[in-house]
Every structure is written in C-alpha cells, then in structure tokens.
Amino acid sequence: MTDVMEVKAGTSNVMEGLLKKADAFRRLREKMIVPGTISEIRPDEVSIDIGAKADGIIPASEFDHLDELSVGDSVDVYVERVENKEGRPVLSFSKAQQQKNWEMILEKSSEGEEISSCVKAKTKGGLIVNIGVDAFLPTSHIDTQVPRNLDQYIGQTFNVKIVKINKERRNIVVSRRELIEAQRAQKRQQVFNTIQVGSIVKGKVKNITDYGAFIDLDGLDGLLHVTDISWGRIVHPSEVLKLGEEIDVMVTEIDREKERVTLSLKKMHGNPWEGVENKYPVGSKVHGKVSNLTPYGAFVELEEGIEGLVHLTEFSWTKHIVKPSEMLHVGDEIDAVVLEVKKEEQRISLGIRQLTENPWDMVPHNYPVGARVHGRVHNLTNYGAFVELEEGVDGMIHVSDMSWTRKINHPSELLKKGDEVDAVVLEVDSAARRISLGLKQLTDDPWAVIDTLYKIGDFVKGKVIKVVSFGLFVELEESKIEALIHISQVSEESIENLKDRFNVGDSIEARIIKVEKPERRLGLSIKAASYDKKRLDEIIQQYDTISVEQELNRLDEAFAQAEQKSSK
C-alpha cells in the first residue's frame, strides 16, 4: 500500500513539474529577459534551461569568464525566439546583459556625463565602444585632429563623454574629443597665466604649414612663423621642423584677449647680424655658397643667417648676363667682394666682377679720340653696328657716321656680321661704357671741298644706285657722292616709269644743274648734257631767278621721299 502511495506521489510531482514547465513556456515571449539554469557546459557552447520544451544553446564566446561558470548556476538570458525549427529557444546572454546595462545607463547616466569605455571595433564613420552597452564614437570626435588610422584604437580604454542618447532607437553617441578639448582648455589657461614675453618654453610641433608651424605648449598653441624659425634662408618650415618634434622656443608676443602666442626659434640663438659691418667691411673679399637664384641676381650664404645679393649688373664687366643661371647654380661656392652693408635692413650687396680688373678703366688710354682702330662686327641694329674691339669692349658705328656721300638707312647696306673693319674713335664714355666709332672719318669729307670738285654745268659720270618713281640716284665716279636726277631732268620726252628704261648699275652721263652745299645735295640733268652753253645758261638762269625756290622744294621733296622709301 505504501509503495502504491509513493508511486502516486512521485507521479503527482512529475505532473506538477510538467504543468509548471508548460505554464512557463506559455508565458515566454520574444525580447524578454528570463532567468535560466546552466544545464551543461561545453568548450564552444552552454546549455540553458529556461523551462521550455528543450534547453537553449548559447555560444561560449558570449561569456567573458567561461571557466568561472558551473552547472546549476542561474543566469539571465534574452529570448530572441521562443522556438526554432529544432524546437529549441534561441537565447543570448550578451543581449540580456546589454539590455540590463541599457536600463541601468538610462537610470544612472545622462547626456553630458563622462564614462569609461573600451574600443570594440572599427565601423563606418568611427568606432564602436563598450560603455556597458555598445555606443558610437564618430571619427571626428576621437581626437582634436581627425585620425587616419582607426585600427590603432581597437582594444584601448579611455573616458568619453555621452553627447546623445536616443531611447527609441536605443543608441548612444559619445565623444572623446570634447573631454580632450576641455582638458586642453584648462591647461591652456594655466599656461597662459604663467608665460611672459621672453619666456623660454618647451613645446611639440603640432602642425606645419607653408607660412610656419603651430607648437603645442601643453594645451596652448603658439605660432612659430617661418621668418622666426631661422636666421638663415628657408623655403618651407619642414626643412627645419618635424611633426611631433619637441623644441624649445621663446615667447615674443602675447595677445591675452585673443589668446594668441607668437614664438621664435631663431631668437634662441644670437643675431648673426650684430657687428656684421665689422665682419664684412665694404671692399673685403668673402667666400660663400649660392643659396638661391632669382630673376635679378643670386643670393650667397656667407654664414648661417647671413646672405648677400649679387645683382645681375655685378656679374661681369664685359658680358651682358640675362639670367643668373648663365654663370651660377644653387650650391656653387664662390668668392665675391662686399659692395655695401645695410645692417638695419639686413642687406649685403656683393659683386663678382670686382674680383677682376675693369677693362673699361683703360679704354680712354687704349682708345683715345681720333685713334684708328680695328675690330669685328658682331651685331647690327636699326641705328648702327656694334664692333668688338677686344673681349668685353664694343664700339658702335651709327648709321650717320658710315658715309659722307650716301644716306645709310640700315647698317646692312654696308656691313654684315663677322666683317673685319677699321674705324675712327669719335667719343669715349668709360662710366657709361660707350665708345662711338666712325667709318666715314677714315677719309676726308668731299663736301668740305665740293666747290673745287664740282661746278654748275660740269659734265659728270656715275652709276645708278637706286631707281625710284620720281628719279634716279647716281653715285659719281670720282667722289662717290650721291646725286639725284629728277624724272623731269631725264629726257625731253615724258617718262611714266623709269624702271622700264633704267636699272641699278647703269652708267650715266649728266650735267650738274644744282649744288646745295649746306644740305649736301647735288642735282643732275641728263637732258641738259646735249644743251649748248646758251640753252644751259637759260635753264640755270631760270633756276636762279624764277624757279629757284620751286625747284629747291621739288628737290627737297624728292630727297625726303627717297629717304622714306629707303627706310622701308
């Protein structure tokens, strides 16, 4: 009887347990946190009994300290699904923890509070950090400067500030930068209250720009301008400074209202320009290295912080230098002569040509006025020819000094490059480095004795040197003087085009009908060559009385037109 009663009691207990289990299963809902009991622990998973038809399985990776768990321990788990295809509940231990932590954070924390975090992973736009629950740390809020490599932060622990809590979406945004900026602001104020102009402070190179570098003075940024980095010439601050480098600098200016500090590195060392006039007196010979070339000259470093300028005009006595690179290159070591020192402006003028004698100093002695010289034509211009007398010494023959007898419109009518010529020195200006030469001065001026050479009515011979619409220009045989035969004096017949009847080089016989010594002009007539004395006298008398002024005007016009056409 007793055995029967015990069996009935056991059966009753089993049924009661099953009923309770069934009742618990009916009450299970997704997204619930329910208590469970560890029924089995395996290396990669843990079985949890929550009163369902079967145990739920949770990956062992969700438990931070698996070795501290035991069968029978009670744990809270999160129900993701009440039952899967295998009839098991889908559970999560970590989500239950996050849910409880989320509720705890909502209860104990608020926006603006500081909290400890651990970086879990990198995500798009920032980092995932754990503050009890997962929170988002944007890249722009990691540090005061946006980092390029986010992997370096994974696993790190640091405090962050809660900047936004979204209860509906269950997400939190945090910032590390705001805490750093607050700390820096506090430090900045401390530093700002203690530094003075002239103070020597230690800082770290935080940023380098084209115009200078920003130095972190333990929370306070100071500007080190490129001109205050070195007494010497530097093109970019990176030539001297490196990011992250620690340096000592001097405080040169403080603006407490704008919280700005100006720094100097070069003033940590003595000013090399002190006593520069004694170190580099005018006239002394110096040695240095070419540090920079500009369109107007070359800078030469004499020592660190001191440069001198060799202007283009001081490169050579004899050569026309267009750009410095024709003679010098950056890095060349050269000698020079000090020409001028301006300490206040920190400028030293140097010269290279002063290392040799100026050939123009001897020009008045070597080429006195009136001397006959010999040289080579090396350049032609519209107004004359340049003749090299010796290296670096040129003389110029102006077109007006090329011929007594011809109107030269361009030097190429008589000369070409490379011609060897003799000339006479007309004028010397050593200071301006000019020598005026003359070709025509090699011979006597025939116009000085024109009265003895030609008289009105004389027969002359010559060759045509120009044929123009209004007449013929003829070079006379004996004197080489150029004379004009106006078209009206060519023939008794009317001639429309002289080029149909005359060519350059044709021999001409004519008679002189006009001599104008002051204007250095001769008028000829071909048709008058056959006139008898009476007819010739009549024409000459007409010129001298009735038509003299008109004829002179016609001759002036003819010569003027000839000059214009020749210049074209």
Q: Residue 158: its pLDDT value, please?
A: 92
pTM of the entire predicted model: 0.43
Average pLDDT over residues 164-180: 85
| CB 132, CB 105: distance < 8 Å | yes
DSSP string, 214-247: EEE-SS-EEEEEGGGT-SS--SSGGGT--TT-EE
Amino acid in position 220:
L
Q: Residue 438: its pLDDT value, please?
A: 92
Terminal-residue alpha carbon distance, the chain: 152
Per DSSP (E only), the strands in 430-531 are 434-438, 459-468, 471-476, 482-486, 507-516, 521-525
- Please, which pLDDT band fits residue 18 given cuts at 50, 70 and 90? very low
Q: Residue 551: its pLDDT value, please?
A: 45
Taking CA atoms, 550 is separated from 225, 522, 527, 546, 555, in Å, by 81, 16, 19, 8, 9
Q: How far apart are CA 252 and CA 88, in angstroms?
A: 76
Q: How far apart are CA 268 and CA 272, in angstroms?
A: 12
Largest CA distance in the chain: 194
Highest mean pLDDT among 212-216, 307-311, 487-491: 307-311
pLDDT at 115 over 90: no
Q: Residue 127: its pLDDT value, please?
A: 93
- Quick: pLDDT tens for 85-113: 888 999 988 888 888 877 777 777 777 88
Amino acid in position 219:
G
List own/partner pairs for 324-333 with CB under 8 A and 24 or more apart.
324/293, 324/294, 324/297, 324/298, 325/293, 327/352, 328/290, 328/293, 328/298, 329/290, 329/293, 330/290, 330/291, 330/292, 330/293, 331/289, 331/290, 332/289, 332/290, 333/287, 333/288, 333/289, 333/290
Q: Residue 567: its pLDDT value, please?
A: 46
Average pLDDT of the chain, as a whole number:
83
As beta bridge partners, residue 159 has: 116
Structure-block tokens of residue 459: 């027969």
Residue 305, SS3? coil
pLDDT at 6 over 70: no
Q: Which domains are delineated in the chain?
A: 20-96 (2.40.50.140), 109-180 (2.40.50.140), 195-268 (2.40.50.140), 276-355 (2.40.50.140), 359-442 (2.40.50.140), 446-567 (2.40.50.140)
| CB 192, CB 256: distance < 8 Å | yes
Taking CA atoms, 92 is separated from 41, 80, 105, in Å, by 15, 7, 20
Backbone angles phi, psi at 76, to 5 degrees: -90, 135
Average pLDDT over residues 508-531: 86
Q: When comparing pLDDT for 237 and 189, which is higher?
A: 237
- Quick: pLDDT tens for 260-316: 889 988 887 778 888 888 989 999 999 999 999 999 999 999 988 889 999 998 998
Q: When comparing pLDDT for 529 and 44, which is higher?
A: 44
- Please, which pLDDT band fits residue 7 given cuts at 50, 70 and 90? very low
DSSP string, 13-41: HHHHHHHHHHHHHHH--TT-EEEEEEEEE
pLDDT at 424 over 50: yes
- Quick: pLDDT tens for 305-357: 889 999 998 998 878 888 999 999 999 999 999 999 998 888 999 999 989 88
Q: When comparing pLDDT for 229 and 19, which is higher?
A: 229
Q: How far apart are CA 339 and CA 203, in angstroms?
A: 42
| CB 35, CB 74: distance < 8 Å | yes
| CB 62, CB 19: distance < 8 Å | no
Q: When comparing pLDDT for 563 and 88, which is higher?
A: 88
Q: Residue 175: its pLDDT value, please?
A: 93
Backbone angles phi, psi at 81, to 5 degrees: -140, 140
How much of the chain, in percent, has pLDDT values that exceed 70? 90
Strands 74-81 and 297-303: unpaired
Q: Residue 546: its pLDDT value, please?
A: 36
Backbone angles phi, psi at 62, to 5 degrees: -80, -10
